[in-house]
């Protein structure tokens, strides 16, 4: 894996993702997203999962809880086999 030293690391960026999404900011303009295909793909996945989660968990919950569920769903999906 390569990391651009001039940029946020993917881990740092991904840690901020829920916040960025929750804030309703224009993610397309984010400098990291513009330069990082990996995180663009991840964001697309997150949006798909978030959309599915809204349908799976129709009960209104605090966003923090929702993101916990999404994050654990991602971890389950990846199964810890092979870094991406
Ligand atoms: Zn990235």
How far apart are alpha carbons 41 and 53 in whole angstroms?
A: 18
Give the model's pLDDT for residue 81: 57
Report the separation in Å between the CA atom of 5 and the middle of ligand 1, taken as the mean of its atom positions: 12
Instruction: Decide if pLDDT at 69 tops 90.
Output: no
Report the separation in Å between the CA atom of 55 and the middle of ligand 1, taken as the mean of its atom positions: 28
The arithmetic mean of pLDDT across residues 45-72, rounded, is 78
Give the model's pLDDT for residue 82: 54
Instruction: Decide if pLDDT at 71 tops 70.
Output: yes
Q: How confident is the model at residue 24 (pLDDT cuts 50, 70, 90)?
A: confident
Instruction: Decide if pLDDT at 29 tops 90.
Output: no
How far apart are alpha carbons 42 and 45 in whole angstroms?
A: 5
Report the separation in Å between the CA atom of 40 and the middle of ligand 1, taken as the mean of its atom positions: 7
Instruction: Decide if pLDDT at 2 tops 70.
Output: no
Q: What is the dihedral of CA 40, 44, 45, 46, to 10 degrees?
A: 100
The arithmetic mean of pLDDT across residues 20-38, rounded, is 84
Report the separation in Å between the CA atom of 62 and the middle of ligand 1, taken as the mean of its atom positions: 27
Report the separation in Å between the CA atom of 10 and the middle of ligand 1, taken as the mean of its atom positions: 4
Phi-psi region of 9 (alpha: psi -120 to 50; beta: other; left: phi over 0): beta
Please choose, from the candidates 22, 43, 18, 47, the residue with its C-alpha nearest in 3D space to the C-alpha of residue 32.
Answer: 43
The pTM for the full model equals: 0.52
């Amino acid at each position: 894996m390569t990391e651009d030293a001039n940029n946020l690391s993917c881990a740092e960026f991904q840690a901020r993702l829920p916040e960025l999404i929750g804030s309703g900011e224009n993610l397309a303009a984010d400098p990291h997203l513009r330069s990082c295909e990996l995180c663009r793909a991840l964001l697309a996945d997150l949006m798909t999962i978030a959309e599915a989660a809204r349908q799976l968990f129709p009960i209104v919950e605090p966003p923090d809880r929702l993101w916990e569920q999404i994050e654990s769903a991602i971890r389950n999906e990846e199964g810890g086999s092979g870094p991406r």
